[in-house]
Each structure stands twice: as structure tokens, then as C-alpha cells.
Amino acid sequence: MQRTRIVAGNGNARRLYNAAMHLFFSALLLTVVPLPVLAQVAATGDYLARMDTDRDHRVSLAEYQAWMSYAFDGMDRNRDGVLSVEELPGGRGKPITREAHLAQLADRFRRQDVDGSGFLSEKELAAPPR
């Protein structure tokens, strides 16, 4: 039996191997993860572009609340504006109204708005929660 030796002198073998592994794991990922998950935002600029509905290159409180409320809206199955215990993840926790949820988001927005402009810049969006 003869062994084949791969010589990585110019890096072609390594690049070929990496490309094959990338292709393999990409195909595996597509079989396991639903497509909407793959379409999630990948970078802060993407967040800004998706939140910034009026395209002024900054995010207002209303835009922030609208974007950040998608999970609340999805969990509020009976559309009564309240996440009841049954609608909360794991069926645990205290009920929360949409108004309370929006107030929490407004508080978070104000803490992220470091320069006090009333808008979030890409840099402020990228910063860790305060």
C-alpha cells in the first residue's frame, strides 16, 4: 500500500481542505437550521439598516421599540397586549403588558443613547447593554 503525502508548500492543500470543510459544514447547517434563522442579522450595520425604517442612518425610540417588540408580538398568541404565564417561555414568570414592555425598551434605549441625541447611532447599537 502506497501512502500519498500532501505537501503544503504553497498552502493550496490547506486552502482546499478549508474550502471542503466550509462546504461540508454549510450543507450540514442547512439541513439542521431553519432558513429564517440563517437570515438573522449578522452585523451591527445590518441592525441599523433593518431598524432604521426612515433611512436617516440612526434609530429613533419608535423604530427601536418596533424592532425589539417582534418577540413580544410573536408570543402574544391571543393578541390581548399581555404576555400571560402560559405565553411566557417555559410557562414561568410574571405577566407583562405591552405598555410595560415598551417602557422597559424606552429605559434601555435611553441608557444606550450615550450622547443624549434621542437616537441610536451604529456605535451606540454595537455597545454592550448599559
Q: Read off the pLDDT of residues 54-82 as tens digits, 9 standing for 90 and up.
A: 999 999 999 999 999 999 999 999 999 99
pLDDT of residue 21 exceeding 90:
no
CA-based end-to-end distance of the chain:
63
pLDDT band with cut points at 50, 70 and 90 for residue 11: low
pLDDT of residue 30 exceeding 50:
no
Side chain identity, residue 62: A
pLDDT value of residue 35: 47
Higher pLDDT, 44 or 36: 44
Question: Alpha carbon 3 to chain centroid distance?
Answer: 48
* Phi, psi (deg, nearest 5) at residue 60: -85, 170
What is the distance between the alpha carbons of residues 16 and 10, in angstroms, rounded to a whole number? 12
pLDDT band with cut points at 50, 70 and 90 for residue 18: low
Query: Residue holding cell 414568570?
Result: 93
Residue % of the chain over a pLDDT of 90: 53
pLDDT value of residue 34: 47
What is the distance between the alpha carbons of residues 31 and 114, in angstroms, rounded to a whole number? 42
